[in-house]
């Protein structure tokens, strides 16, 4: 009987945490400190804000109730790096790892972004809530959530998390990618606890971050490619 | 929360002019109030009427960019609505969800509380204007009265004192529990730690207690009267079954 009660209690706890959800906003750029930028050379400094053509940059937000760092790192990173959250998800659920919250994209204002979808898997995305807030599955409103965001330049990569993981796993050539600091917010409950924006300058909020250029093929590689192309053209003309 | 109330000018001709057919009262008590606004959330209100035009545009800097990213949160009956300062928008405000919309500035009249999420440096806001008066006084040495209706139609309302004063919620601000009518009603003051709201301190009206207040957990403790500072707002749950007329005299 005692075991039965313990098991039932444990199930109830799991069920409660599985169905609990808090709320966050996922938009950046109203203040200068939260705007997104890129660089121009591998490892170089920021050279400007993201552009004004919507849908070129995508952002993924992750949350965890248990992880206060990503592979031991809490600072912003860019370019090639071992500490991207999508390569260090752990169990993939907030209680013991990092979980996807939703996807955002840049809008027509330089350096800014807004949410596009929400869901805990790359394929299982749906529209944000009516007020454009996102549900953080597995962490209740008024609960504390660690947060981190990843951004990337989508041409040549794709707009979803799965395509980002595929591109990065294949060598991450010719792209821009970056990750925010790891922050912490108290999730909104849709009532008396207001929903926070994950981006801001307040305690625990994320600042804007830089997406850094990854690997560019070396000049000799480019020269070889050019030589090969020219040879093909010559060969075609002779025929 | 330390507040400074500095009434700069004198009350001018505040009495009723008896020669007129209808009573006439003056609202010429003008001045300013300084309210400290730390980084993160502050539960506050606009303590003075800005010549009757209490649009946030008239109360805050919306053009220089100094407040960009900061948020005004108003209570909508069941949840907060949020507008974000954004000097790049024609109105000075955008939405928190996308940051792309241009929103109408909120109106922040005395007596209606709001949360301010300060995304800049710790600051002090100065509000200028007249002490809000809704009607003439009804007793000797009373300049005027204000009425703030605390609705019973929603679980919570977010009021503040219409008059720029601070002190005990009953003894000074005038929410009186006459005959125990407000027994069970709750005052909720946000616990703001490092700028973040970490729940609320809840105090329940209870006319059977010596202080008039008890705890929400057991209803057995005798708690001190909640104290509300000048320019501070609070959530209130009216459990009386009907709207409460919060009348204050000046």
- What tens digit of pLDDT does each residue of B54-86 get? 999 999 999 999 999 999 999 999 999 999 999
Average confidence (pLDDT) over B159-182: 97
Q: What pLDDT does B29 receive?
A: 81
User: Which regions in chain A score pLDDT beneath 70?
Assistant: 1-19, 217-239
Whether the pLDDT of residue B112 is over 70: the answer is yes
- What sign results for the dihedral spanned by CA atoms B199, A200, A74, A19? positive
- DSSP, collapsed to helix, strand or coil, labels residue A236 as helix
Tokens, residue A83: 């500490």
Per CB-CB distance under 8 Å, the chain A contacts of B82 are 25, 194-195
- What pLDDT sits at residue A4? 53
What is the pLDDT at residue A194?
96
Q: Per-residue confidence at B20, pLDDT binned at 50, 70, 90?
A: very low
- The reported pLDDT for the residue numbered A218 is 62
Domains of chain A, by residue range, sit at 20-238
Residue B2: the pLDDT is 42
Contact residues, chain A, for B97 at CB < 8 Å = 25, 27, 114-115, 128, 131-133
pLDDT digits (tens, 9 = 90+) for A99-127: 999 999 999 999 999 999 999 999 999 99
CA angle B169, B175, B181 (to 5 degrees): 125
Contact A179, A70 (CB under 8 A): yes
Could you tell me which of A57, A143, A146 has the C-alpha nearest to residue A101?
A146
Strand partners for A126: A118
Lookup result for tokens 């509300």: B228
Residues of A in contact with B84 (CB under 8 A): 30
Contacts of B201 (CB under 8 A, 6+ apart): B188, B189, B190, B191
Residues in a beta bridge with B85: B93
CA dist A158 and A165 (Å) reads 10
- Per the CB < 8 A criterion, the answer to whether A216 and A174 are in contact is yes
Mark B189-207 as b/e (b = at least 16 C-beta within 10 Å): bbebeebbbeebebbbbbe
Give chain B's mean pLDDT: 89
Q: In this complex, do A30 and B94 lie within 8 Å of one another by their Cβ atoms?
A: yes
Instruction: Report B:55-74 residues touching A (Cβ under 8 A).
Output: 65, 68-71, 73
Contacts of A34 in chain B (CB under 8 A): 69
The answer to whether residue B24 scores a pLDDT higher than 50 is no
Whether B100 and A108 lie within 8 Å, measured CB to CB: yes
Of the candidates A32, A132, A186, the beta carbon closest to that of B98 is on: A132
Residues contacting A9, CB < 8 A, separation 6+: none
pLDDT at residue B26 tops 80? no
SS3 A234: helix
Distance CA A34, CA B119 (A): 11
- pLDDT of B10: 34
Give me the pLDDT at residue B136, please.
79
Q: How far is A84 from chain B (nearest CA, A)?
A: 25
The predicted model gives B193-219 an average pLDDT of 95
The answer to whether the CB of B247 falls within 8 A of the CB of B145 is yes
Is the ipTM here above 0.90? no
- What would the mean pLDDT of B163-167 be, rounded to a whole number? 95
Provide the sign of the torsion angle of the four alpha carbons B26, B27, B30, B34, taken in this order. Answer: positive
* B235: helix, strand or coil: strand
> Quick check: helix, strand or coil at residue A17?
helix
Query: Is-above-0.80 flag for pTM?
Result: yes
Can you read off the two tokens belonging to residue A26?
């996922």
Q: Would you tell me how many other CB atoms lie within 10 Å of the CB of residue A69?
A: 15
Q: Which residues lie closer than 8 Å to A81 by C-beta, 6 or more apart?
A: A179
């Amino acid at each position: 009987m005692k075991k039965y009660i313990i098991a039932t209690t444990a199930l109830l706890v799991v069920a409660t945490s599985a169905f609990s959800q808090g709320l966050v906003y996922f938009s950046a750029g109203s203040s200068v400190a939260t705007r997104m930028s890129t660089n121009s050379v591998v490892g170089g400094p920021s050279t400007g804000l993201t552009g004004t053509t919507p849908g070129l940059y995508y952002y993924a937000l992750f949350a965890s109730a248990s992880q206060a760092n990503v592979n031991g790192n809490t600072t912003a990173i860019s370019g090639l790096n071992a500490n991207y959250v999508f390569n260090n998800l752990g169990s993939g659920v907030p209680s013991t790892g990092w979980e996807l919250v939703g996807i955002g994209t840049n809008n027509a204002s330089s350096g800014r972004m807004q949410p596009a979808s929400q869901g805990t898997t790359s394929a299982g995305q749906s529209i944000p809530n009516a007020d454009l807030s996102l549900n953080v599955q597995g962490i209740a409103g008024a609960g504390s959530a660690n947060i981190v965001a990843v951004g990337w330049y989508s041409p040549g990569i794709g707009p979803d998390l799965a395509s980002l993981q595929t591109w990065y796993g294949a060598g991450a050539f010719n792209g821009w990618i970056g990750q925010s600091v790891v922050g912490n917010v108290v999730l909104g409950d849709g009532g008396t606890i207001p929903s926070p924006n994950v981006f801001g300058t307040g305690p625990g909020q994320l600042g804007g971050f830089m997406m850094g250029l990854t690997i560019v093929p070396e000049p000799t590689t480019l020269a070889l490619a050019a030589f090969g192309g020219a040879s093909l053209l010559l060969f075609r003309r002779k025929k | 929360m330390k507040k400074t109330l500095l009434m700069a000018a004198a009350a001018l001709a505040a009495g009723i002019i008896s020669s007129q057919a209808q009573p006439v009262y003056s609202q010429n008590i003008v001045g300013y109030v300084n309210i400290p606004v730390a980084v993160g959330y502050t539960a506050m209100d606009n303590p003075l009427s800005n010549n009757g035009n209490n649009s946030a545009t008239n109360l805050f800097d919306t053009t220089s960019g100094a407040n960009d990213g900061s948020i005004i949160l108003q209570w909508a009956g069941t949840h907060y609505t949020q507008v974000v300062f954004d000097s790049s928008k024609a109105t000075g405000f955008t939405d928190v969800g996308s940051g792309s919309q241009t929103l109408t500035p909120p109106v922040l009249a005395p007596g209606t509380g709001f949360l301010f999420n300060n995304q800049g440096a710790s600051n002090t806001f100065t509000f200028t204007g007249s002490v809000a008066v809704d009607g003439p006084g009804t007793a000797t040495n009373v300049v005027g009265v204000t009425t703030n209706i605390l609705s019973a139609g929603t679980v919570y309302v977010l009021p503040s004192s219409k008059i720029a004063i601070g002190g005990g919620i009953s003894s000074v601000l005038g929410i009186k529990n006459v005959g125990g009518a407000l027994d069970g009603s709750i005052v909720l003051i946000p616990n703001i730690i490092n700028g973040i709201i970490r729940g609320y301190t809840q105090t329940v009206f209870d006319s059977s207690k010596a202080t008039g207040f008890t705890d929400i957990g057991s209803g057995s403790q005798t708690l001190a009267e909640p104290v509300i500072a000048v320019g501070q707002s609070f959530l209130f749950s009216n459990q009386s079954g009907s709207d409460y007329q919060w009348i204050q005299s000046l």
